[in-house]
Amino acid sequence: MSSREESVITPLPSRRRFLQQLGLGAGALGFSMFGGLALPQSALAVCEPPGNPGTAKRWRKDCRMILPRRPASTLSSDELKKLKEAYQAMRALDTSDPSDPRGFKRQANIHCWYCGEGTQVHFSWQFFAWHRAYLYFHERILGKLIGDMNFRLPYWDWDSPAHRTLPAGYTSPNDNSNPLWNGTRDMSPTDEIPNEDVGDSVMDAALTAGTFAEFGGTAGGSGIPEGAPHGSVHVDVGGDMGFFDSAGKDPIFYVHHSNVDKIWSDWNKASSTHTNSTDPAFLNLTWTFFDENKVWRSMTAAQVLNHENQLRYLYGPSKFFELLPCLLDWIVIRTDWRISKTLKVVRQTRDKMAKVLEQGGRARLHLTDLSLPLDKSAVYRLYATPETAKADEGPSGKGYLGTFPIVLNDRAGRHTSKQARNMVVNLSTPMLDALSGAQGPVRLALVERKGKNHNPTVIPVRAKDVHLTIAEVEREDK
Ligand SMILES: [Cu+2]
């Protein structure tokens, strides 16, 4: 671990810990963090509030050119050079002027503050909109630092099978001389994100979500892609990325989230019915960020919904548009899970769902408010039975249904969220057969995914509800 990526873990209540690191008592609470106060270096290593220098100015319209964000692995050598220069300049601010909110540590700590230390933007409909706003200001700051407001963040398109390794610029050179490097990652430069975490089935489940609530979450629960693929990639990269409080310390975070942002954009484009929430409680969500000129600005969720027009960037086409069927409405098939805590898919239901699949439609399994151990960041595999979970044969093995990640807020396990984690998986015909098991109801089970030859501990599924859905494909003759 390099000195610039230290992680300070002190299991003290956050407010108290922060003040102690600052050497301030409770009486100094109202003191502005950015009124020219030179913060001691130790304070910068933890997650301080992003600052509150008076009333935020409203975000103004952006008149820059509309330019594409591009896959990180396809940047030209000149573009990569610029990207590295931008992060180099951002990191340099950490030492030249630690009070500059545009410095890399300050940028990383914004995510930390919004992930439990101060407030929580995960596990709800804040997730997509807040991260879009955060990346927007981050992108503008990087552009300003290299004198090029046409700079746009790239994205790490791990959903492309050819781009499953960390983008080359982030690992080459694979040492401290590279401003895009981070020494804490679990992934080596040749490791790949597993297909079961980001493959077509996972992407399809996200991109065909029928409503904004299902895709982007609600005030009290997460949408589909916030778990897999988003959280899974955090766990897979590991190190700082494996915890929300430190994730922003790895430059890969910003290109990872740029791709997550693209998924939101793609979901909107995938169907005329994929519209964002119009609930004023969502639209009026307001956050504050420092812009590229160190001006404290407020931005609302409503101001980020049209990234192309409002925020002046766009994404290239998605390969999934050609693969996605035009689906009719999702139909819910209730189960008696709430009573029996088991799942019984009767023959008739199984056959009906299989027919929908045969005709190009979709069938799904939904686990609402899923409980998982909150003692570590990990990816769990869902199986149809405790026996198949114990055998843990993986994606092509018996009883396998899908994956779900847990990303903790910090290594000390603080700020664990009680908000609902919702899992949805696309079902195949063999999966339907596993669920309609010959010996009566199935008892869903999970195991933590580990390397080969592990002896998995089987975790019975605890969820508020489990149900099924189907969506038939739209046909011209109907
Ligand atoms: Cu994230």
Cα separation of 274 and 220, whole Å?
20
Supply the pLDDT for residue 46: 59
Supply the pLDDT for residue 455: 80
> Is 234 part of the annotated catalytic residue set?
yes
> Is 138 part of the annotated catalytic residue set?
no
> Is 274 part of the annotated catalytic residue set?
no
> Is 307 part of the annotated catalytic residue set?
no
Residues of the chain with pLDDT below 50 are 1-45
Give me the domains of the chain, ranges plus CATH numbers.
54-321 (1.10.1280.10), 326-471 (no CATH)
Supply the pLDDT for residue 111: 87
Supply the pLDDT for residue 344: 87
Cα-to-centroid distance, 392 and ligand 1 (Å): 27
Cα-to-centroid distance, 439 and ligand 1 (Å): 41
Supply the pLDDT for residue 44: 36
Tell me how far the alpha carbon of residue 213 is from its chain's centroid: 16
Cα-to-centroid distance, 234 and ligand 1 (Å): 7
> Is 256 part of the annotated catalytic residue set?
no
Cα-to-centroid distance, 338 and ligand 1 (Å): 31
Supply the pLDDT for residue 416: 74
> Is 321 part of the annotated catalytic residue set?
no
Supply the pLDDT for residue 54: 79
Supply the pLDDT for residue 29: 28
Supply the pLDDT for residue 70: 96
Q: Which of 401, 409, 408 is nearest to 449 (CA)?
A: 401
Cα-to-centroid distance, 231 and ligand 1 (Å): 6
Cα-to-centroid distance, 290 and ligand 1 (Å): 20
Cα-to-centroid distance, 353 and ligand 1 (Å): 34
Q: What are the pLDDT digits (tens) for 91-148?
A: 999 999 999 999 999 999 988 888 876 788 888 999 999 999 999 999 999 999 999 9
Of the residues 128, 215, 243, 244, only one is catalytic, namely 244
Supply the pLDDT for residue 13: 32
> Is 122 part of the annotated catalytic residue set?
yes
